[in-house]
Amino acid sequence: MSGEPATCRSVFPSPALSAGPLPRTDSHSLPRVHPKSGLPDFGIYSRPKSDKSDFGWRVGRGKPHAHASVTSPSLPSPASGGGAERHVCGRGSARAVLPSRRALLAALALLPLPARAQSTYPTHPVRIVVPFPPGGGADIIARLLAPHLGRALGASFYVENRSGAAGRIGTGVAAKAEADGHTLLVTTESSLVIGPHASPNIGYDPLKDFAPIALLTRIPILLVVHPSVPASTLADYIALARKRPGEMFFGSSGVGGPNHLAGEMFNRMAGVAITHVPFSGTGAAIPAVLSNQVGAVWAFAPGLIPHVRSGALRALATGGHERTPILPDVPTVAEAGVANFEAVSWIGMLAPAGTPREVVDKLWDAIAAAMKDGAVRKTLLDGGYEIVVSTPQEFRAVIESDYARYAKLADVFK
């Protein structure tokens, strides 16, 4: 190189401009391409004098080069009002083209950043993980929604049942999936807010590892008794239990489930001692109360409605904070005298934490539209479900509230 002074001049880019090779020296701060993302890195780059390495500024493979090429995007000319000035500096035969800050920002705006890339979501089939066997409430709702979401968003949505450990296995699978909206979770409170108290080393944090999308439905939990039980109201039932402590029994679908916990909460809040008898699922608990093997059962409303309407069972109360439209004449437990009691089951959709908000919003819009479909609504209402479709923020509040409520029953699992 000669010792002649550096010369600089200002020029404007033509519609297609490619800068020449850039000499790498300690006196320049140059943009470079990040080796992993492939995006320009506009941080200060200065090669330490003691470092003889290439610092990644290579063109192709082989030995390190003393310079690299930086290509500017096509930009409007100054005549169009949008030109960006470049500073071209040369030292003898070696010349460097240094784009101005305005040009660099314009170039960055034209790049397909990850957040912008989400505007094309979904880019491939979307998996809906259901952490329970086929045929349950979460599975039914996921399969109802999948075709509607597919049509609305232009991709295939399919259900994958990953059952086991009361829903904790599949929930853990969804928690660890990539947070790009292509793995979703449809589950109940069992795996999300009850399971962590039953198994402390569950492998996921329900409050931190998920991005709630929507609370889809609520399922009322009812207290029903066999007609032979001498109690026509909840107040009668409480009075009877207080006269016969330890002599009365209630059935549920199993230890640690929402129905069992509803009965345990009732015992504590009503000041009674009714003994729990677990069965292997609701399908076994309901026949037990129909045959009077146990005098009462806490169970999900959909399986009880036909028997209540036929008179085979008597509904004393519903666990919700308001009456269910399915059985509007049945009072809530709180109405019947046990203040602040609430025990409902719910089904919701979530994504892994970190899923872009734009993706969550797209999914919510598609869900809201699907839940307005006449056939979907009829299927759910006929099945005893209450349609909710909450916002993500409302669903998060429900998760946090229920998680705190079930924490008070942690001793039940010991």
In SS3 terms, the chain reads as: CCCCCCEEEEECCCCCCCCCEEECCCCCCCCEECCCCCCEECCCCCCCCCCCCCCCCCCCCCCCCCEEECCCCCCCCHHHCCCCCEEEEEECCEEEEEECHHHHHHHHHCCCCHHHHHHHCCCCCEEEEECCCCCCHHHHHHHHHHHHHHHHHCCCEEEEECCCHHHHHHHHHHHCCCCCCCEEEEEEHHHHHHHHHHCCCCCCCCCCCEEEEEEEEEEEEEEEECCCCCCCCHHHHHHHHHHCCCCCEEEECCCCCHHHHHHHHHHHHHCCCCEEEECCCHHHHHHHHHCCCCCEEEEEHHHHHHHHHHCCCEEEEECCCCCCCCCCCCCECCCCCCCCCCCEEEEEEEEECCCCHHHHHHHHHHHHHHCCCHHHHHHHHHCCCEECCCCHHHHHHHHHHHHHHHHCCHHHHC
Residues of the chain with pLDDT under 70: 1-119
Please report the pLDDT score of residue 123 as a whole number.
Answer: 96
Please report the pLDDT score of residue 25 as a whole number.
Answer: 42
Structure tokens at 241: 């239990």
Please report the pLDDT score of residue 49 as a whole number.
Answer: 42
- Tell me which CATH code domain 219-344 carries: 3.40.190.10
Please report the pLDDT score of residue 412 as a whole number.
Answer: 84
Topology at the third CATH level for domain 119-216+351-374+393-409: D-Maltodextrin-Binding Protein; domain 2 (3.40.190)
Same fold? 119-216+351-374+393-409, 219-344: yes
Please report the pLDDT score of residue 89 as a whole number.
Answer: 43
Please report the pLDDT score of residue 99 as a whole number.
Answer: 52
Please report the pLDDT score of residue 207 as a whole number.
Answer: 95
Please name the residue that has the structure tokens 């089939």. Answer: 125
Please report the pLDDT score of residue 119 as a whole number.
Answer: 65
Please report the pLDDT score of residue 201 as a whole number.
Answer: 84
Structural domain spans, the chain: 7-111, 119-216+351-374+393-409, 219-344
